[in-house]
Amino acid sequence: MGQTLSVRQLEAWYGSNKTLKGINMEVASNHVTAIIGPSGCGKSTFVRCINRMHETMPGTKVKGEIILDGKSIYDQDPVALRKMVGMVFQKPNPFPSMSIYENVVAGVRLNGMRNKQNLQGIAEKSLRMAALWDEVKDRLNYSGMSLSGGQQQRLCIARALAVEPSVLLMDEPASALDPIATTHIEELVRQLKEDYTILIVTHNMQQAARIADSTAFFLNGELVEHGATSEIFTNPNDKRTEDYITGRFG
């Protein structure tokens, strides 16, 4: 099951550059929440704060709180937290030295699971959830790099799902893919919200409109507006949201 997230007064810095200026936001469980906004508005930084990847870069700083399942994520060990909060990146990044199968089970295997049957079960289940099983079931031992870009991205999604997180963060997961592969990913996201809370950063407003239950508009490190997707796109409260979605800037 997905979990709710509450973000309180979140601020983040890259060096002296403040990229998030006090974000307050509630993320509903088993919803797809899209984060939209122009480049540099802090949307990637925002999702990278949720699994504490932001802090791994040198010279960064975070303030504020994020509550996941009733507990502050900053009171938890980041390595343990990341098992609950999965992430899919902009560019597909399968592990080059591993086969398709090894890629999918990397998270559980490197964290100590040895039982071969369990691992195979997890691999099949995760690949099925990522709608990739039928395409790769006969070549699980091939390198992950042998797949097409769209397949690689679904492999990365399967890899993230194998750890059984409750929240899935997707940082522009389809921006490096062609339209057909993008459609695959979008369908997948719609199905996955049954089991996960999904936050998806996207540059593509049509994509947000197609897949997201709610949409948040970020601008210059601030959350301008957050509401049901239909509201945001047809009847935004804020003038800046309207300007952005009608293409007047960004």
Partner 1 sequence: MNEYFRKYKNLMMLTVFIGATIIALIPLFGVLGYVVKNGLSALNLQFFVNLPKAMGLPGGGMANAIAGTLIMVLIASALGIPIGILAAIYLTEYDRHSWLSTGVRFATDVLTGIPSIIVGIVIYTAVVLRMGNFSALAGGLSLAVIMIPLIIRSTEEMLKLVSHSIREAGFALGISKAKTILKIVLPTAAKGIITGAMLAVARVAGETAPLLFTALGNQYWSRSLNEPTASLPVQIFQYATSPYKEWHQLAWAGSLVLILMVITLNLVARYAFRSRSI
Q: Out of 17, 24, 56, 235, name the contact with partner 1 by CB under 8 A.
A: 56
Contact call for residue 143 and partner 1 (CB under 8 A): yes
Select the span of 76-84, 173-181, 184-192, 193-201 touching partner 1 (CB under 8 A).
76-84
Instruction: Answer yes or no: are the C-beta atoms of 185 and 150 closer than 8 Å.
Output: yes
Contact call for residue 154 and partner 1 (CB under 8 A): no
For tokens 């397949």, what's the residue?
A: 151
- Which DSSP state fits 62? E
Contact call for residue 68 and partner 1 (CB under 8 A): no
Contact call for residue 176 and partner 1 (CB under 8 A): no
Contact call for residue 173 and partner 1 (CB under 8 A): no
Select the span of 62-70, 85-93, 189-197, 234-242 touching partner 1 (CB under 8 A).
85-93
Rg (CA), the chain: 18
CB-based contacts of 48, cutoff 8 Å, min separation 6: 54, 169, 171
- Which DSSP state fits 44? H
For tokens 């690949």, what's the residue?
A: 127
Contact call for residue 74 and partner 1 (CB under 8 A): no
How many angstroms separate the most distant Cα atoms in the chain? 56
Chain positions contacting partner 1, by CB under 8 A: 51, 53, 56, 58, 79-83, 86-87, 89, 91, 93-98, 106-107, 110-111, 143, 145, 156, 159-160, 163
